Amino acid sequence: PAAKASPQPDRQTDRGSLRALWYLVPALLVFALFLFYPLGRSVFLSFQGSDLFGRPSGFVGFDQYTRLFTDSGFWNVMWVTLGFTVLTVVPSIAIALALALLLHQKIRGIRFFRTAFALPFAYSVATASVIFGVMFNQATGVLNGMLAFFGLDRVGWLTDPAWALLSVSLATVWMQLGYNLLVLSAGLGAVSDDVVEAARLDGAHGWRMQRSIIMPLLTPQLFFLLVTGTIHALQSFGQIHILTKGGPQDSTTTLVYSIYEQAFANNNSNFGYASAQAVVLLIIVVAVSAIQFGVLERKVFYR
């Protein structure tokens, strides 16, 4: 018997796919212009030397990376970046979780407190940094005024290397608090009342209810905040630039701020070295995100 003819491709489907690709062209152009090209340019420059004007002076291989990993200043920057990330991500999520659980209670006037605690989300980084700069001012700041009221010595919140990183981290935690609180509050609002009621009938109350029922149901939101918060901390720049400019004594110079200093600050134009740092930052972000997805996502309860 004659073999059956193969079905002809659906022309309407092909036309629909082609039309969809045309709709994607603007987005692809934006990605190519603001993402793919800068990424490729950074990788290219990391293998190039730089003249006084920052122009590529020739291929130098891995010399920029060798200089980078043998520079003690770079490792200090890495430790500062690690400390800043830990001091901002963990507290911002933990405090937001505690507030979300408290604000989820059905008491009078709770809507006012929900709005008040979510207000930090409405402030820009620049605005919040200026406010905290006034608060941290050693001579006229509110915090030192309170210390003086109790007879304690004034603290150089932004001028003492022992306090600067903690102060910038505190400001960053406050900036992140509103967004984290909104995400966790939305997660709590999605928890089924039937599940909670069934748990209460089984004898789950108080901390046991929070630990055994509510917390597992919030793991998707907690995991999301951990991933995005880590990336945000690794890329933070505005508050550091406004509050301390990486000082004092490089105690708040994170990797992102070091890239800025090498490439643009103080008339610097060492684009090759800065690009090598940018590539390292990209690798760190990808590696940390991959570890988080590979290890922590297994513990996420997707209902």
Cβ-in-10-Å burial (0-12, 13-18, 19+) of 282 comes to: middle
Predicted local confidence at residue 212, as pLDDT? 76
* Residues paired with 56 in a beta bridge: 50
Q: For the residues 210-221, what does the mean pLDDT come to?
A: 84
How far from 60 is each of 49, 56, 149, CA to CA, in Å?
A: 6, 10, 59
3-class SS of residue 123? coil
pLDDT bin (cut points 50, 70, 90) of residue 12 is low
Read off the pTM.
0.88
* Residues paired with 48 in a beta bridge: 59
Predicted local confidence at residue 55, as pLDDT? 82
Phi and psi at residue 269, to the nearest 5° = -145, 40
221-267 confidence digits (pLDDT tens) = 999 999 999 999 999 999 999 999 998 999 999 999 999 999 888 88
67-86 confidence digits (pLDDT tens) = 999 999 999 999 999 999 99
Q: How many CB atoms within 10 Å of residue 165? A: 19
Q: Return d(Cα 224, Cα 235) in angstroms, integer.
A: 17
104-144 confidence digits (pLDDT tens) = 777 777 777 777 777 887 888 999 999 999 999 988 889 99
